[in-house]
Structure 1
Amino acid sequence: MRVLLLSAFVAASAIAAVPSGAHADAMADAKAILEQHKKMPVFDPPGEAFDAKSCMAGKKVLSIPISMTIPFNVELQKAMSTAAKEVGFTYTTWDNQLKTDQWIQGVSQAISQKYDVLDLAGGLNPEWLGPQLTEARSAGLKITTTHLYDVTQKSAPTVDYSSRVDFTEAGKVLAAWAFVQTGGKPNVLIVGSSDVLPSVPFVKAIQDELKALCPECKQKHLDVPVSDWATKIQPGTQSALLADPGINYIIPIYDSMSQFVVPALRITGALGSVGVAGFNGTPFVLDMLREGQVNMDIGESLGWAGYAAIDNIMRMICGKPEVAKLNVPLLIFDKDNVKTAGVPANFNDGYGDAHLEGFRKLWKLK
């Protein structure tokens, strides 16, 4: 009896010693998170199948990206347009160069041409166009967003449906990667941009997961607005490295930031000894990974994302429930598989094409 009581006491003490929210076996849990995102993506239907062609007959969608000067938006729009053509409805991309008056003109065009849906894509915040979107809704348009909000964020009151991205999951993966790669002793510098709408929950997910995996480990946050990336990321990173030579991993949350992080590592002599990992699967960053300047990049196929965004827009028009998140898998690219993304890399290679067959069946096109 005394042995049983002692065993129970030891077990209870061990459980109590684990902080709330912390991982009991942090290394095993971190590796499990990574394994989920190292496999070739499979298609997981975001909802029930429906007759998209019949439902979308005669419908018109106009999409306003934040700017068509950004390759990300060009690729996303190309995929959304291709998906719309497969179904057979009118899809128009409103070309613009990151100017407010051009966005406003796009909204006016959607109203005057009697479109059914106005989509704000690739980072265009609906709160920047509040009065115009209110007018559009009064005219009978539905408002959607594509690739803007994190899954934890609520849409603006002017928005009917949102194709949210799981930035929170990407944050957990980045934290797990840094933890595993440093042998469970990460000292991390997170480079973020709080002026980008999903950045706050994205950074928080990294911070929270690091604390859960390693409550005593160190982390810092360098916050740089997008407009200052070219002038402030490099000196900010250099200052952080000089102030704390123990930093062993840098997480630029949007992988394009890496082009300013790597020079700081080179100047401080830390290139090769301090790891770098980010999110987006931007081709030039994947090339940097292949060349050994970056260690890991979480990618998302923009071809897949475009089809997923059209799926969500159609579900709104066809009276189906909004999906919880954009149906796009997150895939880890590292030195072992980065060549599958192409040489040079592109936005779509390396992910397979399971989404094409998957969405066609889901929309009852075959």
Structure 2
Amino acid sequence: MKIRRYFNRASVAALITAMGAVPTLADEAADGLARATEIIESHRAVPVYEPAGEAFDIRKVAEGKKMLSIPNTSANQFLKGIIQREIAVGKEIGLEVREWENQGNPNQWVQGIEYAIANDFDIVDLISGVNPAVVEPQIEAAREAGVKVFTSHFYDPSQPANELLAGDLPVSFYGQGYILGNWMIYKTGGDARAIVVKSDEVPPTAPLVQGIHDALTENCAKCEILQEINVGITEWGTKIQPSLQSALLANPTANYVIPIYDSMSQFVVPAVELTGKSETVKIATSNGTPFVLDFIREGQVEMDIGESLDWIARATIDGYMRGLAGLPMPKDIGVPYYLFDESNIETAGVPAVPNKGYGDDYVKGFHKSWMME
């Protein structure tokens, strides 16, 4: 995504100066709200599929191949959903896909790569959260054994990928943060006061949180981040709820909580409810995990930036198979963002499912790109 290009405070100021106008604070606030509104409305249309490159016979490339997907933790329902769809898509094209179950311990990631080497896998998929820097000796061993190690949905395009990888499929985490920041501006009319829940140990956290800050800086001088709560992945279940309850009591003017990864919401929602803030504090997040979409329908979460788990699975496999075929890999994973809120949440299914609400043209698009039509 190229969200940065749409609006920039410096360019707006230069335009005003060139026009000979002196903006008032009210003018700046109104302009910022208008920009935020335009950004939000641009993500309400059902996403459109765009091919990642030339068409190729994916079944020919995938035949007899095996892929081991290693999530940062199998407790993360967003990643679990992607891998389930990878397994299903693999069956469509003749690729055997398995998940390496783990509880977020780096030693378990090491064991997963070692298992892939010992069992003649062709691909290791380090999916969203497994930091290649932590397992570099194993990646080197995999390379020597002819096993290609890729990452997907891990790096922001602004971040250089680990040089030992066979390839990577980044996603604009900055863009997610920028949308979240502008959502708060849009919904509060320019009066957002937020608490952000994050995990700094995950490299994509930094650009995502920066996107939130930049949105507020560019489009809402009055808005502010009251507090940032940093919780390690393995501690989400024990620390998010009590930490957030304390933060909400310490910041009584807060009107938003932003759990930057939506699987955090299972611990955020109880914290907001137990502090009696459900009417005054809204929750906006990103990823589009089905159980969080159900929270929207139930009125517990206001908005989730949806990424079709099925679309991510197809785009991931598409990119990796292109790499195996000697074709250029896409510069990013290419999965559009789509906003779910009370106005369209029913389209995600009741209960929500990973691949509903995004239309089905993208499936046809992938089949055409894969010469399956």
> Scaled by the length of structure 1, what TM-score is found?
0.87
Q: Is the 8 A contact 2:104 2:234 kept in 1?
A: no
The 1:135/1:285 distance shift into structure 2, 3 A limit, reads: same
Instruction: State the match for 1:111 in structure 2.
Output: 117
- Identity rate of aligned residues, in percent? 44
Pair 1:35 & 2:56 matched: no
**Alpha-carbon distance in 1 for matches of 2:241, 2:316:** 35
The 1:230/1:136 distance shift into structure 2, 3 A limit, reads: closer
Pair 1:334 & 2:341 matched: yes
Q: Is the 8 A contact 1:23 1:212 kept in 2?
A: no
The 1:231/1:77 distance shift into structure 2, 3 A limit, reads: closer
The size of the alignment, in residue pairs, is: 357
**Alpha-carbon distance in 2 for matches of 1:18, 1:54:** 63
1:255-294 matches, within 5 Å, as 255-294=262-301
**Secondary structure, counterpart of 2:153 in structure 1:** strand
Deviation string for 1:184-217 (max 9, x for gaps)?
1212222211122211111111111111111342
Q: Is the 8 A contact 1:187 1:247 kept in 2?
A: yes
Whose Rg is larger? 1
Deviation string for 1:243-281 (max 9, x for gaps)?
332222221111232333333333443211222100122
Pair 1:357 & 2:367 matched: no
Instruction: State the match for 2:144 in structure 1.
Output: 138
The 1:318/1:273 distance shift into structure 2, 3 A limit, reads: same
Instruction: State the match for 1:343 in structure 2.
Output: 350
**Alpha-carbon distance in 2 for matches of 1:179, 1:9:** 22
Work out which of the residue numbers 176, 201, 216 in structure 1 matches 2:207: 201
> Scaled by the length of structure 2, what TM-score is found?
0.86
**Alpha-carbon distance in 2 for matches of 1:171, 1:9:** 26
Pair 1:301 & 2:304 matched: no
Pair 1:190 & 2:196 matched: yes
**Alpha-carbon distance in 2 for matches of 1:337, 1:358:** 24
**What's the CA shift for 1:136?**
1.0
Deviation string for 1:290-336 (max 9, x for gaps)?
12121111111111111000011011111222212212221111111
**What's the CA shift for 1:171?**
0.8
**Alpha-carbon distance in 1 for matches of 2:21, 2:145:** 59
What amino acid maps onto 1:38 in structure 2? R
Q: Is the 8 A contact 1:272 1:293 kept in 2?
A: no
Q: Is the 8 A contact 1:288 1:294 kept in 2?
A: yes
**Secondary structure, counterpart of 1:148 in structure 2:** coil
**Secondary structure, counterpart of 1:111 in structure 2:** helix
**What's the CA shift for 1:81?**
2.3
**Alpha-carbon distance in 2 for matches of 1:248, 1:70:** 27
What amino acid maps onto 1:65 in structure 2? P
Instruction: State the match for 1:91 in structure 2.
Output: 97
Q: Is the 8 A contact 1:304 1:355 kept in 2?
A: yes
Deviation string for 1:16-70 (max 9, x for gaps)?
8699xx9992222211211222111221112222232334444443333334444
The 1:185/1:67 distance shift into structure 2, 3 A limit, reads: closer
What amino acid maps onto 1:191 in structure 2? V
Q: Is the 8 A contact 1:41 1:354 kept in 2?
A: no
The 1:235/1:91 distance shift into structure 2, 3 A limit, reads: closer
**What's the CA shift for 1:99?**
4.7
**Alpha-carbon distance in 1 for matches of 2:203, 2:24:** 33
More moved, 71-80 vs 299-308? 71-80
Unaligned 5+ runs, structure 2: 1-13
Q: Is the 8 A contact 2:78 2:263 kept in 1?
A: no
Unaligned 5+ runs, structure 1: 1-7
Work out which of the residue numbers 253, 263, 268 in structure 1 matches 2:260: 253
Instruction: State the match for 2:31 in structure 1.
Output: 25
Q: Is the 8 A contact 1:190 1:251 kept in 2?
A: yes
Instruction: State the match for 1:3 in structure 2.
Output: none
**What's the CA shift for 1:227?**
3.1
**Alpha-carbon distance in 1 for matches of 2:166, 2:24:** 42
Q: Is the 8 A contact 1:161 1:322 kept in 2?
A: yes
**Alpha-carbon distance in 2 for matches of 1:352, 1:246:** 39
Q: Is the 8 A contact 1:308 1:327 kept in 2?
A: yes
Q: Is the 8 A contact 1:146 1:309 kept in 2?
A: yes
